Amino acid sequence: MEFVILVVLFFSFAKFDAVRYDLQDDVHVLRTITVNKNGRGDFRTVQQPIDAVPSNNALWIRIQINHGIYIEKVTIPQDKPYIILEGDRKHLTVIEFGDAGSVVNSPTFKSLADNFVAKNIVFKNTYNRLIKPDRNGRQTTWAPAAAIAGDKASFYHCSFISLQDTLTDAKGRHYFYDCNIQGAIDFIWGNGQSIYEKCQIKSLAHKLGQNGGYITAQGRERPEEPTGFVFKDCHVSGSGSIFLGRAYRTYARVLFSGTYMENIIAPEGWSEWEIKPVDSITFSEAKCRGPGADMSRRIPWEKNLSDDEIIYLTNIASFINQDRWLEKQPH
């Protein structure tokens, strides 16, 4: 048995070393590895090439995933930085699984390492396809599609689909561009320092059978923390009444700027949840459009940020990219 394991490991790493060197946009990509579930690549699953990446690697490694549905949990551990997961540009590349009940153990995808890039991938938790009440009558539970806890992570043209806690934006600086995020309860939550630019935010609150859901649950805990969620030039759509957010921690900070909102936003806009008093919460909107952006009935403690504050938060360079880490990633 030991001999068989050694042979398997040898050939796995042999495949890893044989793949080609690459260069993209003046950023060195050391290797490109292919994944094809039908066996026409270097590996059949997404987790296999991640496991083969050496610990504490210092150069970018691209994992090119052929289109199809990969039913598996995928984790990028903390000691595996500089990984790119890239799906097919023309056909869907889906990573999905159906686990629930834990924000730590249930995510379909977890990225714990610094310096990570994902492109053209659908991350999905399928647990909530059929909603069955538990013994307390609750219809949903934690079922994250993805959990991001490393610093300097970027996502381009990706989708995150679930019902509750869809995207755990836990900690670190993150950039989401042209991504699709769907859910009903706290479906973008955590204490990340993140900009969502030109993203599609879709409410599935009609599936709850209750009055309303929540897009965000931001968890900033102290006033000196630089964290917060910024939605820049996004589009909020879907069905069922939904709040823009509720305060997960005392100094929660969320800004919607230049965003089009369809007529699904609860008139109050925001909820303090269990935070009292509300003076420490920074929930704000700036130059948003659409029928859902009517602020005439918003909660009285919504912050009216100054122009300088809005410019600081919506500017990628000042809010998340002070050390120009985005320019150092392959695009």
Residue 99, domain member (yes or no): yes
Residue 330, domain member (yes or no): no
Active-site residue, from 26, 165, 308, 323: 165
74: pLDDT strictly greater than 50: yes
Are 42 and 13 contained in the same domain? Answer: yes
Last residue of a domain, one of 149, 166, 183: 166
56: pLDDT strictly greater than 70: yes
Are 91 and 181 contained in the same domain? Answer: no
Which has the minimum average pLDDT: 22-31, 89-98, 227-236, 320-329? 22-31
Are 116 and 183 contained in the same domain? Answer: no
Spatial separation of the C-alpha atoms in residues 324 and 251, rounded to whole Å = 27
Residue 132, domain member (yes or no): no
Are 156 and 178 contained in the same domain? Answer: no
Q: What is the mean pLDDT of residues 262-284?
A: 95
In total, how many domains does the chain have? 2
Whether residue 27 contacts residue 60, with contact meaning beta carbons closer than 8 Å, is answered with yes
Are 36 and 144 contained in the same domain? Answer: yes
Q: What is the pLDDT of residues 226-241, one digit of tens each?
A: 999 999 999 999 998 9
Are 179 and 308 contained in the same domain? Answer: yes
* Six-digit token string for 75: 């984790």
pLDDT score at 4: 33
Confidence of residue 13 (pLDDT cuts 50, 70, 90): very low
Q: What is the pLDDT of residues 133-176, one digit of tens each?
A: 555 555 568 899 999 999 999 999 999 999 999 999 999 999 99
* Six-digit token string for 52: 């083969």
Q: What is the pLDDT of residues 248-268, one digit of tens each?
A: 999 999 999 999 999 999 999
Q: What is the DSSP track for 129-151?
A: GS----TTS-------SEEE-SS
Are 149 and 65 contained in the same domain? Answer: yes
pLDDT score at 130: 45
Residue 134, domain member (yes or no): no
Q: What is the pLDDT of residues 281-328, one digit of tens each?
A: 999 999 999 999 999 999 999 999 999 999 999 999 999 999 999 999
Confidence of residue 207 (pLDDT cuts 50, 70, 90): confident
Are 159 and 176 contained in the same domain? Answer: no
Query: By three-state DSSP, how is residue 285 classified?
Result: strand
Spatial separation of the C-alpha atoms in residues 78 and 105, rounded to whole Å = 15
Spatial separation of the C-alpha atoms in residues 160 and 180, rounded to whole Å = 6
Are 49 and 157 contained in the same domain? Answer: yes
Percent of the chain at pLDDT > 90 equals: 80
Confidence of residue 206 (pLDDT cuts 50, 70, 90): confident
Are 40 and 175 contained in the same domain? Answer: no
Which has the minimum average pLDDT: 210-214, 270-274, 293-297? 210-214
Residue 129's alpha-carbon distances to 89, 162, 193, 201, in angstroms, are: 26, 9, 30, 19
pLDDT score at 211: 66
Question: How many H-runs (helices) and E-runs (strands) does the chain carry?
Answer: 4, 27
16: pLDDT strictly greater than 70: no
Q: What is the pTM of this model?
A: 0.90
- Tell me whether residue 186 is one of the annotated catalytic residues: yes
Residue 111, domain member (yes or no): yes
Are 218 and 90 contained in the same domain? Answer: no
pLDDT score at 331: 76
pLDDT score at 136: 57
pLDDT score at 135: 58
Active-site residue, from 186, 279, 308, 323: 186
Full residue range of the structural domain in which residue 99 is found: 1-126+139-166
Are 104 and 234 contained in the same domain? Answer: no
Spatial separation of the C-alpha atoms in residues 101 and 106, rounded to whole Å = 7
Residue 291, domain member (yes or no): yes
* Six-digit token string for 2: 């030991």
CATH label of the domain that carries residue 116: 2.160.20.10
129: pLDDT strictly greater than 90: no
What is the 8-class DSSP label of residue 177?
E
